[in-house]
Every structure is written in C-alpha cells, then in structure tokens.
Amino acid sequence: MNPDRIGVMVNNLEPDRLRAFAAAAQLGFKVVHTSALPEGWLTGPERAQYIAAARASGLTIHSMFVGFDGQSYKDMDSIRRTVGLVIPELRAHRRGVAKRYVSLARELGAPSLAMHLGFLPSADNPDYEPLLEAVRNIADCCASEDLTLRFETGQDPAEVLLRFIENVDRANLGVNFDPANFMLYGTDEPVHALGILAPLLRGVHCKDAIASGQSGVLGSEKPLGMGEVPWPELLRELEGCYAGPLVIERETADDAYRGRDIISARMLLTRLHPGLWRSLGPALYD
Ligand code: MG
C-alpha cells in the first residue's frame, strides 16, 4: 500500500498540540486527523497558533475531531455521564462548541468534522427527538460551509447508528469507522458492522482492541495486530468500499510506547496484503 495513504491521529503521536503537526510531518505522514482541542483554544489566542502550526506542517487534515471539556473515557459509567451530545444539560453548550469547529475547519482546509455522540438513547426515549434536532442543527452549520459531519462508530451497534443517521436525515452525514471501538464497547463485530455502514463510510481509524467479555466493562486497546480486529479480512472488505486515508489511532499506551506502536502499525499496514489495493490503481503501490 502507498504509505502516503496511512495517516495518524495527530495528538496520539505528540500530545503537545502545537508541536504535533511538525512531529507527524517529520515522520513522513502526509495526512492526519486532528484531536479535540480544549474549548478555550477555539476562541483564545491559541487558535491562531494552532492554525499556524497546522499550515506550516504542510499536512492534509482529513477530518477534525470535535470534543468537549470534561469528557472522560475512563470507564463505561464515565463515558455515559460525560461524553458527546447525548447529555441533555450539556447539549446546548456543546452544540455551540461544535459549531466553533466549523470555521476552524474551513480555515484549515479540512473537509469534515467528526465526533463521538455518546451512547444513543433508544428511539422511544423522550430525549431522542431533541438529540436529533441538535445534530441536525450542527449538520446544517457544517453544510453551510461545505463540510461533512462524521460520527465515530462503536459506542452503539452499527444498526443503531445507521437508524440514528437516517432519522437525522441530512445529506452531509457519514461515519468514521473505528473497528476497535466495537470490541471496546462490546457492541458489534467489525466486519458485520462495516457491511451495514459501508454506504456512509467517510473515514477509517486503524486501532485494535480486545473485548472484555463482560457487559458494561470496557475492553482493552492493543497495538495494531495484537487485538481481536480481523485486519486482513477487514482491509479486504474496505478495498471494495473505501479509497480514503487509513488513520492510525493509539490512545491508551504510555507516552514512551505510543510513538513506537504508531510506527509499528504503519509498517504493518504498509506490508499487509500488498495486493489488496490493486483495484485502486498502480499509483497506490510502493
Ligand atoms: Mg477512533
């Protein structure tokens, strides 16, 4: 596979947000997803510094991840209480935060925003419709600037996310497919989920994990190739439905090992099944 197609979640590589773009470029990455910023950076003096650092790197930003102050992914309960747009009392504020990313993405030439919604309420929950309305509002703001809005997969089964997106009913919606999240949350099987979400596929995270096997207990993230995601089969399936970047994510390793794991993942993806991408054309070969 052409290594230029393999990207990285930029702050997994280097936590310092102003140094991270240069660090990724120095390692030869050409494309990145950007990690969420502290909310204060969206309006404060850091905003201009962040834009300057991104531009100076020459990297292509494939998607900017939206995040919110106070989120915790420590365990299932923390995620339920703190993550995404599903928390009614935080929704109006977070909707405003998400919209601030729209202008930032435009200035950086990024074509999309991406986000975790949190654990979706069931369709008969009284809060389902207000959530739909908030997401429509953000999607329309994105559309006004020609951006797509992508939802991270895995916190719910693929069918549930698909139904939610159908109910939001906006043309600029898609998914960022993260197969490891289905293992971490115990919600689905990656190849099955890809079959359901393929028509909405706008991005892919290359991350690995093992399921906990216990309801309500998060699985464990692992270096790529050392978890339960069936990468050879998944890459074969992706060949038929996705030609965009494959973005490496490595979130929970110690700082000392995260960079090593990211480089190992890139080597694995570059070498794995070199014939898989034939249909995409000779330019994609090493
Ligand atoms: Mg991800």
Confidence of residue 94 (pLDDT cuts 50, 70, 90): very high
Q: Residue 278 above 60 pLDDT?
A: no
**Residue that has been written with the tokens 């052409």 in this structure:** 2
Share of residues in the chain with pLDDT > 90 (%): 89
Q: Is the pLDDT of residue 280 over 50?
A: no
CA 175 – ligand 1 centroid, Å: 11
- The pLDDT tens digits of the residues spanning 197-255 come to 999 999 999 999 999 999 999 999 999 999 999 998 999 999 899 999 999 999 987 87
Cα of 66 to ligand 1 centre, how many Å? 12
Q: In Å, what is the CA distance from 9 to each residue of 45, 66, 169, 264?
A: 23, 13, 28, 15
Q: What is the pLDDT of residue 281?
A: 36
Identify the pLDDT of residue 253.
78
The average pLDDT across 131-143 equals: 98
How many angstroms does the Cα of residue 9 sit away from the middle of ligand 1? Answer: 9
Q: Over 90: is that where the pLDDT of 285 sits? A: no
The residue-averaged pLDDT of 49-60 equals 98
Span from the CA of 43 to the centroid of ligand 1 (angstroms): 25
From the CA of 204, how far away is ligand 1's center (Å)? 8
pLDDT of 3 reads: 80
| Least confident interval from 38-42, 169-173, 257-261 | 257-261
> What's the mean per-residue pLDDT of the chain?
93
CA separation for the pair 43, 138 (Å, rounded): 18
CA distances from 210 to 158, 183, 185, 228, 247 (A): 18, 6, 10, 5, 19
Average pLDDT over residues 141-163: 98
In this predicted structure, the answer to whether residue 286 has a pLDDT above a threshold of 70 is no
Type of residue found at 19: R
State the pLDDT at residue 256. Answer: 81
Q: From ligand 1's centre to the CA of 205, what distance in Å?
A: 5
And the tokens for 243?
Answer: 């030609």
Instruction: Tell me the two tokens of residue 244.
Output: 């965009």
The pTM for the full model equals: 0.93
Ligand 1 centroid vs 161 CA: distance in angstroms?
15
Quick: pLDDT tens for 106-119.
999 999 999 999 99
Alpha carbon of 143 to ligand 1 centroid (Å): 23
Bridge partners (DSSP) of residue 173 are 149
Secondary structure (DSSP) of the chain: --GGGEEEEHHHH-S-TTTHHHHHHHTT--EEEEPPPPGGGGTSTHHHHHHHHHHHHT-EEEEEEE--TT---SSHHHHHHHSSS--HHHHHHHHHHHHHHHHHHHHHT--EEEE---SPPPTTSTTHHHHHHHHHHHHHHHHHTT-EEEEEPSSS-HHHHHHHHHHH--TTEEEEE-HHHHHHTT---HHHHHHHHGGGEEEEEE-EEE--SSTT---EEE-TTSSS--HHHHHHHHHTT--S-EEE---SS-HHHHHHHHHHHHHHHHHS-TTTTGGG-GGG--
pLDDT digits (tens, 9 = 90+) for 166-208: 999 999 999 999 999 999 999 999 999 999 999 999 999 999 9
Distance from the CA of 146 to the center of ligand 1, in angstroms?
23
Q: What does the pLDDT read at residue 273?
A: 52
